[in-house]
């Protein structure tokens, strides 16, 4: 069974996040650095769209781009049930297009799975077309500010009768080419039912400087700043959730 085919378990597994604080940070960043007013957010690899309701509650429109059909259906139900200003689109974040551009793009939890420079260039070009000039691209956990931490992380989450032990294991596929495989494993106890579900993805690891150079190559992006743990006053730190912010120019 695939992790992303089980949106409810995924949502519980990653429920440790403080969504209100994360959206507070987004608003602080756009207040300080966006050159345009922000009315619409685009989240890439949006999964179960955890920021959807909080952003819409604050008056923004939300667009989620997600490849997995189960996640798309799960998040779309949230939009319909809450009758909020959101839209979930099925698409590949490496190469995509929108009918109308958004004002700010987001990606969370390192969910940019480009496996080559070519795929990264396609991604950055697609995002550049998908947001208005002067808007920001906010990337959480995508680039390596410190040497990649290649080991297993684990934690536990629960909701009602559902208890989930989560692990993330990172292993080099080709260290010279900086290709890393990451495997998420959920050991789920849902009442009396126990199951194990996993998902593995390969991505190329870029240092901060490497990523910024790639972004600047076509004159579409410039570096705005870097932060840690959704704190506008905190610079990147080891083992932090480090964030890079780019401006569409």
User: Residues 185, 219: one domain?
Assistant: no
Say whether pLDDT at 148 is over 70: no
Structurally, the chain folds into a number of domains equal to: 2
User: Residues 184, 86: one domain?
Assistant: no
Assess if residue 176 is contained within a domain. Answer: yes
User: Residues 109, 198: one domain?
Assistant: no
Q: Count Cα atoms within 13 angstroms, Cβ side, for 225.
A: 14
CA gap 241, 9 in Å, rounded? 22
CA gap 1, 224 in Å, rounded? 40
pLDDT at 149: 55
Q: Count Cα atoms within 13 angstroms, Cβ side, for 245.
A: 23
Assess if residue 148 is contained within a domain. Answer: no
User: Residues 76, 112: one domain?
Assistant: yes
Say whether pLDDT at 238 is over 90: no
pLDDT at 151: 65
User: Residues 235, 182: one domain?
Assistant: no
CA gap 90, 88 in Å, rounded? 7
- The model's pTM is 0.95
Q: Provide mean pLDDT across the span 6-11.
A: 96
User: Residues 211, 193: one domain?
Assistant: no
Structure confidence at residue 218 as a pLDDT band (50, 70, 90): confident
26 Rama class: left (phi>0) / alpha (psi -120 to 50) / beta:
alpha
According to DSSP, the β-strands at 242-248 and 221-228 are antiparallel
Boundaries of domain holding 85: 3-143+207-248
User: Residues 114, 8: one domain?
Assistant: yes
Mean confidence (pLDDT) of the chain: 95
CA gap 197, 6 in Å, rounded? 9
CATH of the domain at 189: 2.20.25.110
pLDDT at 146: 84
Contact call for residues 196 and 184 (beta carbons, < 8 A):
no
Burial (0-12, 13-18, 19+ Cβ within 10 Å), 156: exposed
pLDDT at 239: 83
Say whether pLDDT at 170 is over 70: yes
User: Residues 158, 36: one domain?
Assistant: no
Backbone angles phi, psi at 151, to 5 degrees: -160, 175
């Amino acid at each position: 069974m695939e992790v992303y085919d089980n949106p409810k378990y995924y949502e519980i597994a990653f429920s440790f996040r403080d969504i209100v604080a994360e959206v507070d940070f987004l608003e602080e960043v756009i207040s300080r650095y966006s050159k345009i007013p922000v009315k619409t957010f685009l989240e890439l690899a949006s999964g179960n769209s955890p920021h959807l309701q909080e952003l819409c509650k604050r008056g923004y429109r939300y667009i989620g781009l997600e490849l997995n059909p189960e996640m798309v259906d799960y998040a779309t139900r949230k939009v319909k049930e809450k009758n909020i200003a959101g839209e979930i689109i099925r698409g590949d974040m490496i190469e995509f297009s929108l009918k109308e551009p958004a004002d700010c793009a987001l990606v969370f939890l390192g969910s940019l799975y480009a496996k080559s420079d070519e795929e990264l260039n396609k991604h950055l070009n697609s995002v550049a077309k998908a947001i208005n000039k002067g808007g920001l691209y906010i990337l959480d956990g995508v680039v390596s500010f410190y040497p990649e931490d290649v080991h297993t992380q684990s934690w536990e989450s629960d909701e009602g009768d559902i208890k989930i032990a989560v692990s993330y294991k990172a292993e080099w596929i080709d260290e010279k080419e900086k290709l890393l495989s990451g495997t998420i494993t959920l050991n789920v106890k849902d009442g009396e039912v126990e199951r194990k579900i996993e998902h593995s993805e390969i991505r190329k690891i870029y240092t901060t400087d490497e990523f910024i150079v790639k972004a600047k190559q076509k004159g579409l992006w410039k570096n705005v700043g870097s932060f840690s743990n959704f704190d506008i006053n905190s610079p990147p730190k080891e083992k932090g959730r480090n964030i890079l912010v780019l401006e569409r120019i």
